[in-house]
């Protein structure tokens, strides 16, 4: 059973930093796209950053230069380092994984074979 568990969210002032973690367990596919998405009330979920098993990475324009996605294969953990946070970064952040290594709009193409975590809240205050 595949499980994705996010952690690291919280409250921070604008200009601050947070690092999100996503512990991945039970994922046995050789190929993947793993990424971070975010959602605010009343808005569609949007891709933030993603990476693939083929070496590709993608970032949403709004976070380029401020956020960095990485993956620790030893610990099976996906990270999102978020620096220079802005009020508009406030959202529920989700990690996701899909066997199809396709990047899409700053995130992954999550198909019906994909998996989602439960999310972690990030709140940035001015």
Please say if the pLDDT value at position 78 is more than 90: yes
Q: How far apart are the first and last CA of the chain?
A: 41
Q: How many helices (H) and strands (E) does the chain have?
A: 0, 13
Confidence band, pLDDT 50/70/90 cuts, at residue 101: very high
Q: Would you place residue 86 in the very low, low, confident or very high pLDDT band (cuts 50, 70, 90)?
A: very high
> Residue 106: what pLDDT?
85
What digits encode the pLDDT tens for the residues 15-55?
Answer: 999 999 999 999 988 999 999 999 999 999 999 999 999 99
- Average pLDDT value for the chain: 95
pLDDT at 75: 86
Looking at residue 7, its pLDDT comes to 97
Does 104 score more than 90 pLDDT? no
Percent of the chain residues past pLDDT 90, beyond the cut: 89
Q: Are 120 and 23 in contact (CB under 8 A)?
A: no
Closest to 5 in 3D by CA, of 70, 95, 109 = 95
Distance CA 121, CA 86 (A): 14
């Amino acid at each position: 059973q595949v499980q994705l568990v996010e952690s690291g969210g919280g409250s921070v002032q604008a200009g601050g930093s947070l690092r999100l973690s996503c512990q991945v367990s039970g994922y046995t596919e050789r190929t993947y796209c793993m990424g971070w998405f975010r959602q605010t009330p009343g808005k569609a979920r949007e891709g933030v950053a993603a990476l693939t098993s083929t070496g590709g990475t993608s970032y949403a324009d709004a976070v380029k230069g401020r956020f960095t996605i990485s993956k620790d294969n030893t610990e099976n953990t996906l990270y999102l380092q978020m620096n220079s946070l802005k009020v508009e970064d406030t959202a529920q952040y989700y990690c996701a994984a899909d066997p199809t290594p396709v990047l899409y709009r700053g995130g992954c193409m999550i198909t019906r074979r994909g998996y989602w975590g439960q999310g972690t809240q990030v709140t940035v205050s001015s």
